[in-house]
Amino acid sequence: MADVEVTGDTTSVTTERWSGRGPYWTSPSVGYIVVTGSTSAIDVYKTTDSGATWAAQDTANNPASSNNRSIGAWWDKETKDNSGTLLYIAWVQTTDSAVHYIQFNTSDDTYGTDRTIDSLTISSTSSSSDVSVVVAKSGRVYVCARGDFAADTEDTDHSMRSSSDGFATNNVSETSPYSADEEVVVLLPGSDADMDDISAVVFDAVNQDLEFWKYDESAGTWGVTTIDASISVVASSARLYKGIFSAVSRHSDEAILVAYWNDFIATTADFRSAEILQATPTITQKTNIDTNTDNSAQVGLLINQQNDDVYVAYLGSDAGDEAWGSALICYFKLSTDDMDTWGTEQTYGVQNDDLRAVALGQTVGNDGGRVMPCWFNHDLTSIHVDDGNDVEIAAAGGVTTRRYTLTLTGVG
């Protein structure tokens, strides 16, 4: 195995901005990662050789700003039955105190138009912002953004907007999921008959719980159900390390799967998982990925939509014998039975350093792709993958190739 640098040109506050997104795959050999560069430009990197090399795309037209903060990204194929080729990217910036949105088309590797979709009071402190974007089953795009993590004034410090045409002409003010409770929000497609409806998984830093929210677009209302009320992560940790949870949509039944930490760098920290059936909604706690593990954190999820295999990536081993802030390695596990059991820990990367964020791309469908976590190295301000310990997921009808020995064990 060999670690590969995707880019060494990232910002030193990538963790706070949660700005390494992907990889998103169009085939087992072609994938994309969205990052914020050292000058805070939005960059899309592409591989055509299964992760061995990466190159920035359409650099003449990428959204360049020295004051971009948090970003969010969504891949067309994360939404059930969506066969599109677009990456949807949203971010906030202090230059104009605005929420921005752009589409990147993987069919020709070009950016669309940089659109300003709302004006907010954007904090100059990068860790104070939060952004998420999703495409509903109807095709409607939603962007929620918070400029100041602690503020709660609608259309001043936070908001949610939607559009039926990529914000070209249509721009609708929706009810924001943010409040005075200092939330981190991940938007997801809904499962109701009204295909404009969406959902969200929300970490509430004031109540210290993880919540599932359903949005009725016609009524403009959110319904809230608690996923887990025993979360010990404090607001300051959530601001700095937003990747304490990851959520994906399983297309076979439109359930939402969540992996999350109940505490941050503590001997009593549990790495938990849950399944959410959206209709009622019904929350089912699944088997812990690990229990009572110190010096391990962050999470990225991916589901193989062809067979519902679930992969989870994280930083720091099950043994808890690494050092947060100086010496961590990237690992992953597999569940083949709806998170009832998790396979043994697989060492993914070689790099043992100050790793602080990890992402896994959320979904691989019938086009195939790879289980290839990307991580952020804080010391080097760089994004990396490993070309060798990844998992190839063939296009529908092919054979998935795993480059390791799998032993399933229950962990709880």
The highest-confidence range among 65-69, 116-120, 249-253, by mean pLDDT, is 249-253
Amino acid at site 407: T
Give the pLDDT confidence of 1-17 residue by residue, as tens digits. Answer: 699 999 988 876 666 66
CA–CA separation, 235 and 247 (whole Å): 20
What's the confidence (pLDDT) of residue 64? 79
What's the confidence (pLDDT) of residue 69? 81
Lowest mean pLDDT segment, chosen from 1-5, 130-134, 248-252, 284-288: 1-5
CA–CA separation, 380 and 91 (whole Å): 23
Read off the pLDDT of each residue in 325-346 and give the average, rounded to a whole number. Answer: 97
Q: Which CATH architecture group holds 3-409?
A: 6 Propeller (2.120)
Read off the pLDDT of each residue in 169-173 and give the average, rounded to a whole number. Answer: 98
- Whether 42 and 63 have beta carbons less than 8 Å apart is answered as yes
Structure tokens at 380: 């080097």
- At 408, is the pLDDT very low, low, confident or very high (cuts 50, 70, 90)? very low
Give the pLDDT confidence of 274-309 residue by residue, as tens digits. Answer: 999 999 999 999 999 999 999 999 999 999 999 999
Dump strand ranges (E) for 139-230.
Answer: 141-146, 158-163, 172-174, 183-189, 198-204, 209-216, 221-228
Structure tokens at 107: 């069919």
What's the confidence (pLDDT) of residue 190? 98
For the entire predicted model, the pTM comes to 0.94
DSSP code for 62: S
Higher-pLDDT residue of 408 and 137 is 137
CA–CA separation, 224 and 76 (whole Å): 26
What's the confidence (pLDDT) of residue 134? 98
What's the confidence (pLDDT) of residue 303? 98
